[in-house]
Amino acid sequence: MASRLMHLYVGKLLAEKLDIKDKNRFLCGILLPDAYLSGDKADYNTHYVHLSNNHKTMDFGRFYSEYKEKILTDELYLGYYLHLVQDCAYRQFIYYALDLLKLRGNPDFLDKLYADFHSLNAYIYGKSGKFGLTIPENFEKEEINKLCPFQLEEFFAKLENDYLDTPASEHNYISPKICEEYFTRCLKSCIEEYEAIKSEKTPDAWKYCWRNQPTV
């Protein structure tokens, strides 16, 4: 999945494009699916991962069917929804646009990718500065907490560490230039999916699916 700052930067662009009123609430929603630091992913399927016929997707359509009214009226839930769209767009980008699906399962693939993330954190921080998020009022009473014991306070502490990362002179897979290409594509996908639900179209996450196992 994309890094915290990658999610937030696309979220910031979306907030401007979509004229989001409560940007803090929206950006907290953008982070929320990743905001748990303990527990088994199998216990908390916060990304609505769905596997079928050796293909996977983040099933934002199912999330939409469960939280439709809130997504259409509440920035926190809209942010959560668009995080799932971002993750689908990210998989499409790295697996197909960058042709990295063949590296899945490679022992050092994720280590090299995360090294890029740390360098890109410095790049994104230089563009946007700190996002200055605060936990939404009465967050503990939000219906979304039924999905998972979200840990926003602890997650925000991790976010502060992202601002301390330094740029690297070389990148493994994602350079700042390639990251900008991802931002453009991801923003386009998110706006398309936002306009679809505003037009009362049923979202289809399967058009973003990827092979669960690469072909040999």
For all residues of the chain together, what is the average pLDDT?
94
What local confidence, expressed as pLDDT, does residue 36 receive?
85
Question: What does the pLDDT read at residue 92?
Answer: 97
Which residue positions in the chain have pLDDT lower than 70? 38-42, 214-216
Tell me what pLDDT residue 216 has: 42
- If one counts the domains in the chain, the total is 1
Specify the pLDDT at position 38.
Answer: 66
90 belongs to a structural domain: yes
Tokens representing 165 are: 């990362």
Does a structural domain hold residue 215?
A: no
| Domain extent for 28 | 4-210
pLDDT of 43: 76
* DSSP code, position 11: H
Measured CA to CA, the distance from residue 23 to residue 201 in angstroms comes to: 25
Which residue reads 């939409």 in tokens?
A: 64
Q: Is 216 domain-assigned? A: no
pLDDT tens digits along 108-125: 999 999 999 999 999 999
Beta-carbon neighbour count of residue 1 at 10 Å? 14
Whether the Cβ atoms of residue 84 and residue 47 lie closer than 8 Å to each other? yes
Q: Give domain status of residue 190, yes or no.
A: yes
Q: What is the pLDDT of residue 40?
A: 57
In-domain check, residue 98 = yes
